[in-house]
Chains A and B, each alone.
Chain A
Amino acid sequence: IQMTQSPSSLSASVGDRVTITCRSSQTITTYLNWYQQKPGKAPKLLIYAASSLQSGVPSRFSGSGSGTDFTLTISSLQREDFATYYCQQSYSTPLTFGGGTKVEIK
């Protein structure tokens, strides 16, 4: 299953609303996860099962979608949110990740 993220990068300001999209090449129902990765660090799970917020993750992060189209939204971008974000399908093996979206400071 191919996972396609868009955009591959974006520039935004603190306080902006940011939306990242992920599309799968076939239906994955809601078997979709989102991760955040900062330089030199391991990825961190933000959202699982398309819309469930992982424990400890701020509520400004939200996920939506089902089938083949999914969205990660950051409602009000904070300085610590500048990072790269990846979607991942857990519908079937081999598990696959999107190419990543780098969120940079405008």
Chain B
Amino acid sequence: EVQLVESGGGVAQPGGSLRLSCAASGFTFDDYTIHWVRQAPGKGLEWVSLINWDGGDTHYADSVQGRFTVSRDNSKNSLYLQMSSLTSADTAVYYCARGMEGAAAADDLDHWGQGTLVTVSS
């Protein structure tokens, strides 16, 4: 069974940093592109970032470019999101999600974690 489990959420101060993790199991982790998607309280979904199978290709939303860094450790079946210069606009539930197999479908998100809540507040 495919599982994605996020952790690392919590309360951070404005201007502060936080590192999220996503532990994967039930599939060959290094075959897949993985994404981060967030959802502010009561709002819709916002794509944040993606990283390809070997970490050699990453992309970011304009809203987080230069502040967030996505990485992965395939030996640990884990994905990370390093967040810095946080603002209240970053308050959201953060989901990791797996892209479907194959280059043409890598941005179709077929499995999602349960999410981890990040709250930016003083």
A positions within 8 Å CB-CB of B: 31, 33, 35, 37, 41-45, 48-49, 54, 86, 88, 90, 93-100
B positions within 8 Å CB-CB of A: 35, 37, 44-47, 50, 59-62, 95, 97, 100, 105, 107-110, 112-115
Query: CB < 8 Å: which of B37, B44, B61, B108 contacts A90?
Result: B108
Q: If A42-B95, A48-B100, A94-B62 touch, does A33 touch B109 (CB 8 Å cutoff)?
A: yes
What are the 3 tightest A-B residue pairs by CB atom distance, in nearest-first order?
A90-B107, A42-B112, A95-B47
CB–CB B44/A86 < 8 A: yes
Q: Which residues of A contact B37 (CB under 8 A)?
A: 43
CB–CB A33/B108 < 8 A: yes
Measured in the bound complex, the distance between the Cα atoms of B61 and A97 in whole Å is: 12
Measured in the bound complex, the distance between the Cα atoms of B50 and A95 in whole Å is: 10
Measured in the bound complex, the distance between the Cα atoms of B44 and A98 in whole Å is: 8
CB–CB A54/B59 < 8 A: no
Q: Which residues of B contact A99 (CB under 8 A)?
A: 44
